[in-house]
Amino acid sequence: MNSFRNRLALGVGATTALLLVTGGWVAWEVTAKFNVERLDRDLRHLAEGNLERVMDASHWTRLDRSLAFLAGSDRPQACVLWVRNHGREVFRSAQWPAGILPEKLPEPTLYAGGKTVDPVPPPPRPGALSASNPRLPAKEPLFVTLEADGSTWRVAVTGNPYTTFVLAANLDEMDGDLARLRNRLLMVLPAVLIVVAAVAWWLASRALRPVHTLAEAAESITAEGLDRRIVAPVQDREFERLVRVFNAMLDRLEQGFHQARRFSADASHELKTPLALLQAQLEEALRAASPGSAAERTYSSLLEDVQRLKAILEKLLLLALADSGRLALQRQPMDLAAMLGDIVEDAAAAAPGLRIDLVAPAGATVAADAVLLEQALQNLMVNAAKYNRTGGRISVTLADGPETVRIAVGNTGPGIPPAAQGRIFERFFRGDPARSGPEAGGTGLGLSLAREIVRAHGGELVLAASMDGWTEFACTLPRVPDQAGGGRTVPAAT
């Protein structure tokens, strides 16, 4: 759910589902209420037309047959009736539900308009109704819904001053229609939700297309192309402010980057001359000092510090050139096995207490700047010797592939803490002080410079493994096909 497009589609789908379910439920309730009210109205009209006078049993028999005829011969009677005249039952439909006791139902007492009839009018005389022979007033019906004999019934209780008339309508068919309507809505709902979610996803994709365009444009801006700017989509005014803010940020970033690059390069150049003069003066003073004197020790210490500063300046200058994309490479084909052999010999002389194993098949050729690449590999060797245990081991392995060569430099020192592994290539980062120790020295620029040099050659330098007792860096470089053919393994140097 970390995708805005997916969340939008899901949100629209969920909202639509809620609206459809709520709307469907409301529509179902309104339809059910409408059907019941219409049925109540039909029952009222049917009752009023048969309560104009006191009818005998034959009238109610004919009415019952008419209702049965309307229902059809192949279906159960949908409406049944029960009649009582002058307190005595005169008719009951044959299909009257046994679970409904009409004599127990409450009887209405009010007539149309909420009025009472007092005194009770005499029953009409036989013959046509007229002003002198008026119809009897009908009572306001009472409606109840009851369950009986496995069916639901809508019961209307009404009458006139002499007759109690009860009509019961079976609601099973109406309930069945409502159930079918509900089931069809539920069947259509998933398809509607899928279509709505798909449309929402499509609309979200179209709405986010300018964002993807902006992201792609931003990704294409590198340290070498900070002068590039993003063009706002003409048809999307909502993104104009975002583009303006981003371009203004690029302006500040470009200005700051160029200032930092110029400062690093200018500072390195400006400091090289005074440091060279200072080194020359210290070397002259060291030669003039008496052997074993305090002055000799002081000059020697100062000379080491000056040389260390010069090394730092050289590294900073190289990093500044790499940042600006102006690190010039003098490429030429070179045999990595020979270079690694020289580097291992130098490392063995500088760290005689360590065992150094080299496995390097001959013929692995790369097009590289010999000075810079050797400096990068020297940095890896120095790092492996510096952060090693007493009497430990360094392993240098060259693997020759069809398109790339891989150089692995590992040592038996303490592993790099997991929290520091993501920062080891940062400039001036020294890692865990307990691992480095005061004797380790260094400036925290070696690995960073080595990676920049390898990247300038089209390769990559990574931390391949780090655990307690073993740390390994892997350098991958593009290979130049071997013209000489064959291969050999350089004996291990110790």
343 and 302, same structural domain?
A: no
Question: What is the predicted pLDDT for the residue at 225?
Answer: 64
Looking at the domain assignment, is residue 492 inside a domain? no
CA proximity to 366, closest of 377, 355, 357, 358:
377
Question: What is the predicted pLDDT for the residue at 206?
Answer: 78
Question: What is the predicted pLDDT for the residue at 268?
Answer: 62
Start-to-end C-alpha separation, the chain: 56
Question: What is the predicted pLDDT for the residue at 242?
Answer: 75
Residue 318 belongs to a domain with what CATH number? 1.10.287.130
317 and 340, same structural domain?
A: no
164 and 29, same structural domain?
A: yes
Q: Can the peptide bond before residue 119 be classed as cis, meaning omega within 30 degrees of 0?
A: yes
Give the tokens for residue 210.
């300018």
412 and 273, same structural domain?
A: no
Tokens 């009839």 found at? 117
Question: What is the predicted pLDDT for the residue at 148?
Answer: 92
Residues forming a β-bridge with 462 = 474
| pTM to 2 decimal places | 0.47
Looking at the domain assignment, is residue 209 inside a domain? no
Question: Residue 385 is part of which domain span?
Answer: 331-478
Question: What is the predicted pLDDT for the residue at 478?
Answer: 92
Q: CB-based burial of residue 290 (10 Å sphere; 0-12 exposed, 13-18 middle, 19+ buried)?
A: exposed
Final residue in a domain of this structure, among 144, 179, 214: 179
| Local mean pLDDT, 10-residue blocks, the chain (494 residues) | 74 83 85 91 91 90 90 80 93 93 91 79 77 86 93 94 94 88 84 84 78 75 68 65 79 73 65 79 84 85 81 72 70 91 91 92 88 91 91 93 92 89 83 47 78 91 91 92 42 38
Question: What is the predicted pLDDT for the residue at 75?
Answer: 73
Q: Can you say whether residue 140 is alpha, beta or left, with left for phi > 0 and alpha for psi between -120 and 50 degrees?
A: beta
305 and 354, same structural domain?
A: no
453 and 340, same structural domain?
A: yes
Question: What is the predicted pLDDT for the residue at 488?
Answer: 35
471 and 339, same structural domain?
A: yes
Count the helices and strands in the chain (H runs, E runs): 10, 12
Give the tokens for residue 166.
């009860």
Residue 458 belongs to a domain with what CATH number? 3.30.565.10
348 and 314, same structural domain?
A: no
Question: What is the predicted pLDDT for the residue at 436?
Answer: 45
161 and 41, same structural domain?
A: yes
Cα separations in angstroms, 18 against 5, 13, 26, 253, 361: 20, 9, 12, 48, 70
CA distance 157 to 424: 92
349 and 298, same structural domain?
A: no
Q: How many structural domains comprise the chain?
A: 3
Question: What is the predicted pLDDT for the residue at 494?
Answer: 37
Looking at the domain assignment, is residue 46 inside a domain? yes
114 and 37, same structural domain?
A: yes
Looking at the domain assignment, is residue 216 inside a domain? no
Q: Give the CA radius of gyration of the chain.
A: 50
343 and 455, same structural domain?
A: yes
